[in-house]
Amino acid sequence: MRGGGLLVAGTTSDAGKSVVTAGICRWLVRQGVRVAPFKGQNMSLNSFVTREGAEIGRAQAMQAQAARVEPTALMNPVLLKPGGDRSSQVVLMGKPVGEMSARGFFGGSGGSSPGKALHGGRQQTLFEPVLACLEELRATHDAVICEGAGSPAEINLRRTDIVNMGIARAARLPVVVVGDIDRGGVFAQFFGTTALLAPEDQELIAGYLVNKFRGDVTLLEPGLDMLRGLTGRPTLGVLPYAHGLGIDEEDGLRVSLRGTVRESVVAPPVGADVLRVAVCAVPLMSNFTDVDALAAEPGVIVRFVDRPEELADADLVVVPGTRGTVKALAWLRERGLADALARRAAEGRPVLGICGGFQVLGEHIEDEVESRAGAVDGLGLLPVRVRFAREKTLARPVGEALGERVEGYEIHHGVADVRGGEAFLDGCRVGAVWGTHWHGSLESDGFRRAFLREVAAAAGRAFVPAPDTSFGTLREEQLDRLGDLIEEHADTDALLRLVEEGAPKGLPFVPPGAP
């Protein structure tokens, strides 16, 4: 029997589609519904490796956890990983198939061909495989909650759309549009989004969800009534602004992170001191969610930085992953951060490099794949030489470090030849400088505590890790909070009817429609 479904679209990027989708998944699974998340096409530098070795968007992995199911490539069949403003690596069913320009992918010409899987690189050729993945999920679940991308009213891209109204029309999915009222203009966004869609698309727009509302909801109600009068569609909930969720973002490309402090639990340190962590906001930063486990620790303050003077009072500096290792290396040098990192290493002050950050700390990089820059000198802080291979490493390693069991995941083209130092998670350590390709290692509680004790000792801080912080438990609590937001502030009866029965018949057309 084919399961029901719903598409969560948004008036803009970052309107809250990912967290609303996760919240609906968690609410449904608590009702005993077998539910799965789905996003046909995702653009993100935050990705995850499934147990079968497939790379998918980290947001979809988070949504799968919300649904209490194992993430698979079916949940995110197309992943675009930006390598700059105009090109992306195309990941199809969890495996990279090539680089492509935006024009080439969305329907123009240009860019290198990513192989036969794309049949010339046109986005629309992926429509049938994407739809097949959705139908396979619907065949094995009671409900599939789909997330759109950007806005469904991007009329310049509608012809080749495989993630918003294109998939909704093909699968006859009802659509709920989410708007971020904290940014302002949400009524115009809801109305304009609907009015710019073709009549056939408008037939599926079943209602709206207001996200990130602060204040007295009764002040909003006259506007909601007018919106219904103008569009013939109800607002299905007003979700309040929720602080401290810390749920995985789609990517770090759209937002400047300089000076941003990662949201974390509000708790004092266990010891006498806090521990300050500075994360270098390198270009094309990927999987910056690696530091979320640090931010979850009481007394650990995590901040993104881009100036050398901002490293001065840091007890630990993290050089995170990046989709542009050579570009990040040049950026660190141009900003004076490379010299600051070298000084820290010479003084025995802690530095941690993860994935691309590990690679830049090495002695030498040979890259004919990602940047095609050839031979480049690294920072020389670790005895490692890196060669970029065309085949991407996608793995879920398990190991031991600092006497503790560690789990992680690997996503990289760079192959590290470690020529010295102390072994550390398939990377190495020299003094207070650590490097590893393993993402997610800090989510292993025992290892994180042991690592922070080493950092505190090297930094001379009277910091003591909390003995009972469980990152997995905190993540579950966050997902439950999302489920609570839906249960308490959305019209769940209406949402369930949409999932089971589809969009109601006879929804009015809002002119002018698509041009």
CA distances in angstroms from 78 to 105, 310, 435, 495, listed in the order given:
12, 38, 30, 27
How far is CA 505 from its chain centroid? 35
- CB atoms < 10 A from the CB of 223, how many? 15
Tokens found for residue 511? 């002119």
Calpha distance 320→326 (Å, rounded): 13
Cβ 363 vs Cβ 329: under 8 Å: no
Residue with the two structure tokens 């500075």? 278
Query: Does the annotation count 119 as an active-site position?
Result: no
Residue 437: which residues within 8 A CB-CB, separation 6 or more? 354, 355, 358, 393, 410, 412, 414, 416, 425, 426, 427
Which helix H or strand E contains 5, and what residues bound it? strand 4-10
Q: Name the active-site residue from 280, 355, 413, 437.
A: 355
∠ Cα 448 451 457 (to 5°): 140
Q: By C-alpha distance, which of 218, 215, 209 is closest to 174? A: 209
Q: Provide the CA 285 distance to its chain's centre, in angstroms.
A: 11
State how far the alpha carbon of 242 is from the alpha carbons of 16, 87, 134, 484, in Å.
11, 34, 30, 11
Beta bridge partners of 111: none
Q: Is 439 a catalytic residue?
A: yes
What secondary structure, in 3-state letters, does 86-136 show?
CEEEEEECCEEEEEEEHHHHHCCCCCCCCCHHHCCCCHHHHHHHHHHHHHH
Please give the biggest Cα pair distance in the chain.
71
Radius of gyration of the chain (CA): 23
DSSP secondary structure, 408-422, as one string: -BEEEEEEEEE-SSE
Query: Which residues 6+ apart lie within 8 Å of 280 measured at CB?
Result: 304, 305, 306, 317, 318, 319, 320, 332, 337, 357
CA–CA separation, 393 vs 359, rounded Å? 14
- What distance in Å separates the CA atoms of residue 250 and residue 149, rounded to the nearest whole number? 10
Closest CA to 413 of 387, 436, 434, 395: 387
The catalytic residue positions are 355, 439
